[in-house]
Chain A
Amino acid sequence: MTSDSTLPDIVSSVAPPSGGVNHNLQVRFKNEEGKLLLILPAETETSSSSSWADIWQQLKQRLNAGDRFWQPNTTVHLAAADRLLDGRQLQAVAEALGEVQLTLKRVYTSRRQTAVAAATAGYSVEQQTPSALNQPLTSSVPLAEPLYLQMAVRSGVEIRHSGTVILVGDINPGGIVVANGDILVWGRLRGIAHAGADGNSKCLIMALQMEPTQLRIADYVARAPTTQLTQVYPEIAHVTPEGIRISIAADFSKSQFLSS
């Protein structure tokens, strides 16, 4: 995509398929007072497709993507919500965490069977959800802390986050990143990126090499022009009154000054 405010083909008016990010849809980690909270999506809030296999895959992906940042021997509290986990699945989680030297200590759950399984396996159990999860999902939830990932978002992988996503690596065709905040790709963006997914059209999508299948910011959708890239430089996609436009990153801050 060549830039200097070159116009990508715009298909605005078409609303993006996914509304906001229900951040309970995916496995996520959260820092909380010296420990790490591993939050599983609640069974009641996810469609049936979010099976144990999906959760397991997401967990492995997240663990691999943040390799460098896990501090050895950090305590992990598992917030399983209403998800039914048996002893074997708990053990699998503990082993996966153990591979990056994280230690599972406590399990929060609202299911009796899960509590029994966790207690049998020797974890301390609390039959309620931790404070952070009790906040109701009202319309204006503050953005979550940024999610930092070092991985390739390959075909079929979907990353959802209720804050900003920073990705060191490529988004391959067929991969998708959805964020309520900005999306910063330190690599090639060839798949789909959806920033400001809960409706904030001020959000930006940045990439070192912008060759997306589709860009979405809030309710705007744009696809890339079909012409091949001739030169590659970092670019930033943002919403203008004409729809989504792309600027050369180096000129972006200047153009923002002029227009304001």
Chain B
Amino acid sequence: MSRIIVTTSGKGGVGKTTVTANLGMALARLGRKVALVDADFGLRNLDLLLGLENRVVYTTVEVLAGECRLEQALVKDKREPGLVLLPAAQNRTKDAVNPEQMQQLVNSLTESYDYVVIDSPAGIEMGFKNAIAGAKEALIVTTPEIAAVRDADRVVGLLEAEGIKKIHLIVNRLRPAMVQVNDMMSVEDVQEILAIPIIGVVPEDERVIVSTNRGEPLVLSENPSLAGKAFDNIARRLEGQTVEFIDLHPTHDNFFTRIRKLLSSII
């Protein structure tokens, strides 16, 4: 039984596409057949992050118009044979397709792939509705900021109303040092509001920028950074493995941090 997962967040710029690209790659490396679907029509990025931009010939719109077969539009990854991308049209807007069409498309992908991961655009309008149309489960990506969490909360409500009950949380771009001195929401703070099970915590990592620009997902690097490992762990947890969460706090309570904590708790 293949799984149809949508990555969504409400707010833009929290890392939906980065998560989708890395997760897809990590799942493929675990030996799964993965189809990534870019549902961000008009503002497609997923092909860039995967380094597949120059191989895109057909897109979803051509498939739906009957101008090509679905298999023709799928872009095979050059590094992982199990991974394919269904690119979004760049010259159209979100209204170019409707939820029924997306559902059909996604369902036909399940015939040959273990995972179908749909990258949702920001917002809760037509593009979002298209992205969640065929999905059976959802990954909510949020950063530890009030605005992102608020939007994520709204999206969780919408997903629940649509009957998508299997929802997991990914907290992205966490800065453990800032959390420690109470300058950033902690994972617990985020979870307290959203009240959905957590499947991964990804630390802020400069190498994400490099990897995005090069089109090489983090999980591919030879000695992956903490963020790369975190993505890999999320993939394993999706597979049903129990993986310990990485301890992100760099310095364990030494004398100074303990004093600082003590002081801040008094104030």
**Cβ of A130 < 8 Å from any Cβ of B?**
no
Bitwise interface map of A from 146 to 168 toward B, beta carbon under 8 Å scored 1, else 0: 00000010111100000000000
- The reply to whether B153 and A174 contact each other, CB–CB distance below 8 Å, is yes
- Chain B residue numbers with a CB within 8 Å of A64 are 160-161
Measured CB to CB, the closest approach of chain A to B136, in angstroms, equals 16
- The reply to whether A156 and B161 contact each other, CB–CB distance below 8 Å, is no
Chain A, interface SS category: loop
- Chain A residue numbers with a CB within 8 Å of B154 are 154-156, 174
Inter-chain residue pair count (beta carbon < 8 A) = 40
The answer to whether A190 and B160 touch (CB under 8 A), given A155-B150, A155-B154, is no
Assembly CA distance A152 to B196 (angstroms)? 11
- The reply to whether A155 and B157 contact each other, CB–CB distance below 8 Å, is yes
Return the contact of A155 from the options B153, B160, B163, B195 (Cβ within 8 A). Answer: B153
CB interface residues, A 152-211, toward B, < 8 Å: 152, 154-157, 170, 172-174, 190
Total interface residues on A, using CB and 8 Å?
15
- The reply to whether B157 and A154 contact each other, CB–CB distance below 8 Å, is yes
Total interface residues on B, using CB and 8 Å?
14
- Chain A residue numbers with a CB within 8 Å of B157 are 61, 152, 154-157
**Cβ of B80 < 8 Å from any Cβ of A?**
no
Assembly CA distance A190 to B158 (angstroms)? 19
Measured CB to CB, the closest approach of chain A to B109, in angstroms, equals 25
Chain B residue nearest in CB terms to A173 = B150
**Cβ of A60 < 8 Å from any Cβ of B?**
yes
**Cβ of A51 < 8 Å from any Cβ of B?**
no
CB interface residues, B 154-193, toward A, < 8 Å: 154, 156-158, 160-163, 193
**Cβ of A73 < 8 Å from any Cβ of B?**
no
Interface centre among A60, A156, A157 (most CB of B within 10 A): A156
- Chain A residue numbers with a CB within 8 Å of B146 are 173
- The reply to whether A154 and B156 contact each other, CB–CB distance below 8 Å, is yes
**Cβ of A57 < 8 Å from any Cβ of B?**
yes
Chain B residue nearest in CB terms to A53 = B129
**Cβ of B77 < 8 Å from any Cβ of A?**
no
- Chain B residue numbers with a CB within 8 Å of A190 are 193
Chain B residue nearest in CB terms to A170 = B195
Measured CB to CB, the closest approach of chain A to B133, in angstroms, equals 13
- The reply to whether A154 and B163 contact each other, CB–CB distance below 8 Å, is no
Interface centre among A60, A64, A154 (most CB of B within 10 A): A154
**Cβ of B151 < 8 Å from any Cβ of A?**
yes
Return the contact of B153 from the options A56, A57, A60, A154 (Cβ within 8 A). Answer: A154
- Chain A residue numbers with a CB within 8 Å of B163 are 60
Measured CB to CB, the closest approach of chain A to B17, in angstroms, equals 23
The answer to whether A172 and B160 touch (CB under 8 A), given A155-B151, A155-B153, A155-B154, is no
Assembly CA distance A152 to B150 (angstroms)? 13
Q: Which 3 pairs of residues, A with B, have the shortest CB-CB distance?
A: A154-B157, A156-B154, A155-B153
27 examples of A-B residue contacts, CB within 8 angstroms: A57-B158, A57-B161, A60-B160, A60-B161, A60-B163, A61-B157, A61-B160, A64-B160, A64-B161, A152-B157, A152-B195, A154-B156, A154-B157, A155-B150, A155-B151, A155-B153, A155-B154, A155-B157, A156-B153, A156-B157, A156-B158, A157-B157, A170-B195, A172-B193, A173-B146, A173-B150, A174-B150
Q: A155-B157, A170-B195, A174-B154 provided; 15 other pairs, C-beta below 8 A?
A: A57-B158, A57-B161, A61-B161, A64-B161, A152-B157, A152-B195, A155-B150, A155-B151, A155-B153, A155-B154, A156-B157, A156-B158, A172-B153, A173-B150, A174-B150
